[in-house]
Amino acid sequence: MAQQHEWLDDVGSNTYADQLAVGFRRLRFSAPLESEYLDFVRDDRFELQRTALIGAIVLWCAFAAVDQLLIHSQERWWMLAVRALVLVFLLVCAFLLVQRKYTQLLNPLSIACISALGLGASAVIAIAHRVDPHYPYEGLLLVCMAGYFLVGLRLSEAIISPLLMLSGYLLFELMVGISTPLLLNNLLFLLFGNLIGIVGCYLLEYKSREHFLISRLMRVLADHDSLTGLHNRRSFNRQLERLWRLAQREDVSLAMLICDIDHFKLYNDRYGHQGGDAVLQQVGQLLAGAGRRPLDMSVRLGGEEFAVLLYDISPGEAHQRAEQLRAALEHLRIAHAGSETAGVVTLSIGVACLQPAQGGALGQLYEQADKALYQAKSQGRNRVVS
């Protein structure tokens, strides 16, 4: 079932690419990714499962009317009572699902509804077979198919309801004394129908998981620089606007560090573009560790220019963080014979720190950091200016 994704060879290592590479034949991801996938499935299929439940209620009522047309003995009232009990249960579940605050109950309630439909239908069929052995039982297979395909359950969840339904059907039919040949014929039909449903449900979930990984990977590739793995300018602009608004609401400061590799063109001229790419990657690794909080962000703006966004930090702390980055790169002692500043690769960093709640425009943060970077370069490079 695993497919060859040759294009993954050109993608850097990340959670989604690594999972695609190793496969998931047992329909299971690594623990953190599995949790993310389950959240994705629950949110993605919420409307589908609510709609399916409404459809199930309508069909259940329609079949209750059919029962009254097919069965004319006293048994039809027992059949109606069973349908009424199941209908009440479905209505309670529908009431809970109409309110989005119970989304965590979506899958358990869906399984419970399918199981109730299956067991209820099994009981109705068994009651009908007391007076009419030819009463149609094939509707049970429709309930199973709904669990496999229409409700959007995963295979491990969808298989629960058919197992309960088949067990209930066997028990109810034995209680009413249906003939053994007819019972075996019906069970074989239902079993083979469920096997087809299991295979189909497996294929659907496999494709769903593959789609999840590829779509998340495409999002990562769209928002990240392919060489360094840092966020790109597009992602930076979106995050900066979001953090600016958040800092306004929470009345905290936002700092920006704009970093530029000193004399990078001279480095490329002397060591070649492969050597230059290696330096960019090393700088990217340093900057990736600069963000220590969930809302912090490291970015490659383009060429040899990088930026770091730091949320809720004082000007002094931001300056100190920038100085640590500058010193860390210098400490790597990456030879740069063409540098007019030092014999190693160095960084110039401009730092700006603003409190959005005190007024001012979003663009001021970038402008001030850029001016500080210009001063760092004009003062001899390999330094931090705030």
CB atoms within 10 A of CB 292: 9
8 Å CB contact between 301 and 252 = no
Residue at 178: amino acid letter: I
Give the list of residues 6+ apart from residue 55 with CB closer than 8 angstroms, or none: 150
Task: Quickly list DSSP for 115-159.
Answer: HHHHHHHHHHHHHHHTT-TTS--THHHHHHHIIIIIS---HHHHT
Coil, helix or strand at residue 218: helix
Query: What separation, in Å, do the N-terminal and C-terminal C-alpha atoms of the chain show?
Result: 56
Distance CA 274, CA 276 (A): 5
Q: Which of 241, 250, 304, 367 is catalytic?
A: 304
**Which two three-digit tokens encode residue 8?**
């993954």
Residue 157 catalytic?
A: no
Residues with catalytic function = 304
